[in-house]
Amino acid sequence: MKIAILGYGKMGKTIEQLALENGHEIILKVDDSNAVSWTNQQLQNADVAIEFTNPESAIKNIKRCLESSVPVVCGTTGWLEKIDEVKEKCHAENGGFFYASNFSIGVNIFFKLNKILAKMMNDYPQYKITMEEIHHTQKLDAPSGTAITLAEGIIENVDRKSQWVKESNSSMEELPIFSKRIEKVPGTHQIKYDSPIDTIEIKHTAHSRLGFAKGALLAAEWMVGKKGIYGMKDLLGNG
């Protein structure tokens, strides 16, 4: 498979290493240094593009892939308020677009576990719900895309919660997310149900970026030749 890597940073480099080990070819790598000079013609040599950049660049890059008829797998977080724009573009171009706030298989199991626990805890309002996420200090967005997905899973299943908020003195309807930035942490997410009697906690800790890279590469292999909009549920076949 011929891959274009849009965003040759921490994730792009991990994906490159894994892709080469799996016999794939990297035909284009884009970072800050060539972000204005790369061409659609270069991109069109790829079977698939993998996009891990920053919230400002992601939408532009995804649109360029769609215009070039190259399916695109995107993991960049912090831009999802504009996802409808990208979905429209994907339909208009009859393109292929795959998005996940977290490509790790373990996190996607954790997403499911979170929803099951939330459904159970709906009947127990004495438990106060909070979330904490920890990432490395270069991370641009807070809370993380993964934390937002987890929060949505709780809000869907707990009647007393209607929205998430950034680390504030939250009201009963709000779910507070506390973000910490600590050097070198790839990603930790913890959800706590706290009552005067006891505490129930679930936690996912990524040990490296490899889990994200493996999932993104799997999604890229799966996207070759595909049109339409997909996510991890389509790839992993679970709800």
Ligand X SMILES: NC(=O)c1ccc[n+]([C@@H]2O[C@H](COP(=O)([O-])OP(=O)(O)OC[C@H]3O[C@@H](n4cnc5c(N)ncnc54)[C@H](O)[C@@H]3O)[C@@H](O)[C@H]2O)c1
**Which residues are annotated as catalytic?**
135, 139
Q: Counting contacts by CB under 6 A, is residue 118 touching ligand X?
A: no
Stretch in the footprint of ligand X (CB under 6 A) among 52-60, 162-170, 189-197, 226-234: 52-60
Stretch in the footprint of ligand X (CB under 6 A) among 75-83, 110-118, 157-165, 173-181: 75-83
List 31, 152, 174, 234, residue binding ligand X (CB under 6 A):
31
Query: Hey, what's the torsion of the CAs at 103, 166, 182, 56, to 10 degrees?
Result: 60
List 19, 90, 100, 232, residue binding ligand X (CB under 6 A):
100
The sign of the torsion formed by the CA atoms of 207, 209, 212, 213 equals negative
Q: Counting contacts by CB under 6 A, is residue 9 touching ligand X?
A: yes
96 half-sphere exposure, CB direction, 13 A CA radius: 18
Tokens of 85: 């724009």
Which residue type occupies 29?
K
Residue closer to ligand X by CB (options 52, 164) is 52
Residue closer to ligand X by CB (options 75, 95) is 75
Stretch in the footprint of ligand X (CB under 6 A) among 101-109, 164-172, 175-183, 189-197: 101-109
What's the full length of the chain, in residues? 239
Q: What is d(CA 219, CA 215) in angstroms, rounded to the nearest whole number? A: 6
Nearest alpha-carbon partner for 184 in 131, 134, 132, 141: 134
Residue closer to ligand X by CB (options 12, 153) is 12
List 28, 30, 48, 50, residue binding ligand X (CB under 6 A):
30
Q: What is d(CA 7, CA 192) in angstroms, rounded to the nearest whole number? A: 34
Site string for ligand X, 171-210 (x = CB under 6 A): ----------------------------------------
Angle 141-144-150 from CA coordinates, rounded to 5°: 155
28 class by beta-carbon count within 10 Å (0-12 exposed, 13-18 middle, 19+ buried): buried
Residue closer to ligand X by CB (options 35, 236) is 35
Q: Counting contacts by CB under 6 A, is residue 53 touching ligand X?
A: yes
Residue closer to ligand X by CB (options 60, 87) is 60
Phi, psi of 28 (to 5 degrees): -155, 135
Which residue lies nearest ligand X, judged by its C-beta?
9
Contact positions vs ligand X (CB under 6 A) = 6-12, 30-32, 35, 52-54, 57, 61, 75-78, 100-103, 138-139, 212
